[in-house]
Amino acid sequence: LTLKEAFKDKFLMGVAVNRYQINQSNQEETDLIASQFNALTAENDMKWMYIHPEENTFNFEQSDKLVELAQKNDMFVVGHTLVWHSQLAPWVFKSNNGDTISNEELNGRIKKHISTIVGNYKGRIDAWDVVNEALEEDGSYRKSPFYKIGGEAFIEKAFQYANAADPGAELYYNDYNLITPEKRNGAIRIINNLKSKGIKIDGVGVQAHWSLNEPSIEDIETAIKMYSETGVKVMFTELDISVLPSPWNAPTADVSVSFENNPTMNPYPNGLPDSVQTQLAKRYEEIFKLFNKHSDKIGRVTFWGLHDGLSWKNNFPIRGRTDYTLLFDRGMKPKKAFNAVINTVKD
């Protein structure tokens, strides 16, 4: 049984894919993508810096390849992401007349960015993470240049431009730590604000970069219910579970110190011990039992990477960590966690 078969009556099962997997045409990887998953997100290749590197240059070469791979395999395609303060092109906040950029000029750029990209993929990309990470941890708006210049209206406009360019596409607000009460309430405020103005939003994307203990199943359940009550679908868009200690609890506050040979921060450089494999499997099992219970509210669960070797967590916050976040190991073999996830729908 594959993931997409096992969960076909529950929600889509997605995977984030990078350009390397396409360009190096690693057949084993593309086969695994196609056999296990029915939704695909571009992990990097649709971000502003890659797809719109200069004001008048759009580069669809890599994103086209991802869309083709998805279409060939009947996968739902998620565009990630239209407006984000990170992985931006350097020109975006630089005014053409050399002054500080005005709201009007920036807004024109956002409009062109969204209309061109969403328009280009109209009918081929099924859903967009329209705005990504616009909240601070306390639930207030993130003080990014988008907000400082455009106010909260930048979010409204982004959704309107996306809807105008492809009325058939699903539109999401996407962020991390969306389970904590403060940030959850911030996201609910965004959803309600859009809805009260008649602006289309179809889902909230809960990134789900989680660990073995956090967040708790109870808190995840509360969030699922509260988001669903606003009338949007809940998407778990970037699921991975780190088995390593949080870098923010580093013995020294200096995260620039290499973790590579630091046994405290990188405790399993030669492979994950059985006991931790089991812990990870148990954690995934509890999470999927909860997802199954609320499958009427959940549209999709996407893993942030195909296998452990491709997880961004290996390089976070600096290179040299060895993490084991996903359902397939570095040899692309299913882990204990894979079986645990599949077993949640077997009985």
Q: Are 100 and 148 in contact (CB under 8 A)?
A: no
Nearer to ligand G3I, 18 or 163 (CB): 18
Nearer to ligand G3I, 18 or 242 (CB): 18
Nearer to ligand G3I, 142 or 195 (CB): 142
For residue 207, state whether it binds ligand G3I (rule: CB under 6 A): yes
Q: How far is the CB of 218 from ligand G3I (least distance, A)?
A: 24
Q: How far is the CB of 64 from ligand G3I (least distance, A)?
A: 17
Nearer to ligand G3I, 240 or 285 (CB): 240
Q: Any idea what DSSP says for residue 177?
A: S
For residue 44, state whether it binds ligand G3I (rule: CB under 6 A): yes
Q: Are 49 and 83 in contact (CB under 8 A)?
A: no
- Binding to ligand G3I, residues 215-244 (CB under 6 A): 238
Q: Cα dist. 305→42, 55, 308, 309 in Å?
A: 10, 30, 8, 9
Q: Which residue is nearest to ligand G3I (CB)?
A: 312
Catalytic machinery residues: 238
For residue 246, state whether it binds ligand G3I (rule: CB under 6 A): no
Q: How far is the CB of 29 from ligand G3I (least distance, A)?
A: 15
Q: How far is the CB of 340 from ligand G3I (least distance, A)?
A: 24
Q: By 3-state DSSP, what share of the chain in percent is helix, strand and coil, each rounded to 5? A: 40, 20, 40
Of 236, 261, 264, nearest in space to 341 by CA: 236
For residue 308, state whether it binds ligand G3I (rule: CB under 6 A): no
Of 209, 203, 176, nearest in space to 190 by CA: 203
For residue 258, state whether it binds ligand G3I (rule: CB under 6 A): no
Nearer to ligand G3I, 35 or 87 (CB): 87
Give exposure, 278-304, as e/b (b: 16+ Cβ within 10 Å): ebbbebbbebbebbeebeebbbbbbbb
Rounded to the nearest 10 degrees, how much is the dihedral formed by the CA atoms of 248, 253, 255, 258? Answer: -120
Which position among 24, 86, 192, 246 is part of the footprint of ligand G3I (CB under 6 A)? 86
For residue 23, state whether it binds ligand G3I (rule: CB under 6 A): no
For residue 277, state whether it binds ligand G3I (rule: CB under 6 A): no
Q: Are 266 and 244 in contact (CB under 8 A)?
A: yes
Residue 74: Cβ-neighbour burial (10 angstroms; 0-12, 13-18, 19+): exposed
Q: Tokens 């960015």 sit at which residue? A: 113
- Binding to ligand G3I, residues 123-182 (CB under 6 A): 132, 176
Of 3, 43, 52, nearest in space to 20 by CA: 43
Nearer to ligand G3I, 107 or 322 (CB): 322
What is the contact surface with ligand G3I in residues (CB under 6 A)? Answer: 18, 43-44, 86-87, 132, 176, 207, 238, 312
